[in-house]
Amino acid sequence: MAKLVQLPPKFLPKEWSIANQTRFANAEAQRSRSERLVAESERLVDEIEKTTQKTQKDVNKKLGIAIDLLEKRVGIDLVHDEVERELIKEVEVIQGVIALLQRTLEQITEQIRLSRSAKYSLEKDLKDKFQALKIDNHCSTFTNNTPAIGYASNVVTVQSSVNPVEWEDFSNTNIVKAEKQRNSSVALRTLIDSILSETASDMRKQCDTVNVALKNRVAETKDAKNKLEVHLAKVMDEITSQEKNIENLKKAIADKEGPIKVAQTRLETRTLRPNVELCRDPVQYRLISEVQEISTNVERLRETLNQAEAELKGLIRNQLSLEEEIQVKENTLYIDEVICMQMREAISINNF
């Protein structure tokens, strides 16, 4: 009892009451600030994570479309043209965006960890304060007539206790830590908004560039196809003309069979002349000349016929080549104009 009487000077009941009310008010203010901060942090973290993951998903879809367009054409049209160069560049842009978003997502994950750590500290501090508040409220009900009061030893010196300044500093440290993480989340959100805006702008710009290159390539392919069709029409006309020419040559050769047969028959018949009448007279020389002349002309016609038939074969090969090339162009137009353009029309790059 003597030891208890020698305790340090005690506060007045009014001071005790004021101190309790001050602590209650501080605890309530800190609790309100902490609750608002926790709610705001959770909302901000969830919003950032959802936005970034949605952006990554959309970017991956666009990457798949770009890669799918690269290897569709065939033949000579499987060319490393402006469209392919821009598509490759688009793939590189999208892959760069994915890498950037992945790094950003890692930053978000780390910020979530820090925010949750701050939230845990706040919630633990709040829990302790509610417990302390409950105890102090219970203590405030004690009076000299309270049955539950009694003597207690070793209550003056409490292990691990702190003074009011340390108590307030501890709570303020948690609040400052949470406020710092909230500000970091806000700053990260601003950075993410900027990143999303810039990446969307880069992808939209490259997408427009690819679309322009694709439209230009379609126009070039159509022009090439039209020219091929014009050449094919000319070749077909030439084939018809050459076939008629071959028919005329064959007819001309056939027409010479009668005259040469007549001339040769005359020569053969004149060999039957008797004795001195078998004379090489002017008629004989003229018949010989006629046979030679007709034979020479027939040979020339046959040579021309061979040339015409060879030319016809070349024209037919050219026809087949042109038709094949036109089919290649039609395939390219189907891929570029029908498939690719429709696929790219489905691409919508908005600010996330």
Residues 183 and 310 in one domain: no
Residues 263 and 337 in one domain: yes
Please determine, for residue 314, whether its predicted confidence score (pLDDT) is greater than 70.
yes
Residue 333 domain-assigned (yes or no) = yes
Residue 55 domain-assigned (yes or no) = yes
| 2-6, 95-99, 192-196: range with lowest mean pLDDT | 2-6
Please determine, for residue 69, whether its predicted confidence score (pLDDT) is greater than 70.
no
Give 260's pLDDT tier (boundaries 50, 70, 90): confident
Residues 57 and 112 in one domain: yes
pTM above 0.95, yes or no: no
Please determine, for residue 76, whether its predicted confidence score (pLDDT) is greater than 60.
no
Q: What is the pLDDT of residues 141-163, one digit of tens each?
A: 888 888 877 777 766 665 667 78
Give 6's pLDDT tier (boundaries 50, 70, 90): very low
| 44-48, 133-137, 202-206, 245-249: range with lowest mean pLDDT | 44-48
Cβ neighbours around 350 below 10 Å, total = 8
DSSP-assigned letters across all residues of 136-181: HHHHTT--TT-TT----SS-SS-TT---HHHHHHHHHHHHHHHHHH
Count how many domains the chain has. 2
Please determine, for residue 94, whether its predicted confidence score (pLDDT) is greater than 70.
yes
Residues 187 and 307 in one domain: no
Please determine, for residue 229, whether its predicted confidence score (pLDDT) is greater than 60.
yes
Output the CA torsion sign for 62, 66, 69, 71: negative
Residues 314 and 185 in one domain: no
Residues 28 and 176 in one domain: yes
Residue 3 domain-assigned (yes or no) = no
Please determine, for residue 351, whether its predicted confidence score (pLDDT) is greater than 70.
no
The stretch 26-34 carries a mean pLDDT of: 57
pLDDT at 1: 41
Q: What is the pLDDT of residues 32-48, one digit of tens each?
A: 665 565 565 556 556 66
Please determine, for residue 348, whether its predicted confidence score (pLDDT) is greater than 90.
no
Residue 285 domain-assigned (yes or no) = yes
Residue 157 domain-assigned (yes or no) = no
Residue 59 domain-assigned (yes or no) = yes
Asked which of 180, 197, 218 is the last residue of a domain, the reply is: 218
Q: What is the pLDDT of residues 280-303, one digit of tens each?
A: 888 888 888 888 888 888 899 889
pLDDT at 47: 64
pLDDT at 5: 43
**158-191 exposure pattern, b = at least 16 Cβ within 10 A, e = fewer:** eeeeeeeeebeeebeebbeebeebbebbeebbee
Domain that holds residue 290: 231-345
Residues 134 and 183 in one domain: yes
Q: What is the pLDDT of residues 171-194, one digit of tens each?
A: 888 888 888 888 888 898 889 889
Average pLDDT across the chain, whole number: 80
Q: What is the pLDDT of residues 104-143, one digit of tens each?
A: 889 888 988 988 888 888 889 889 888 988 988 888 888 8
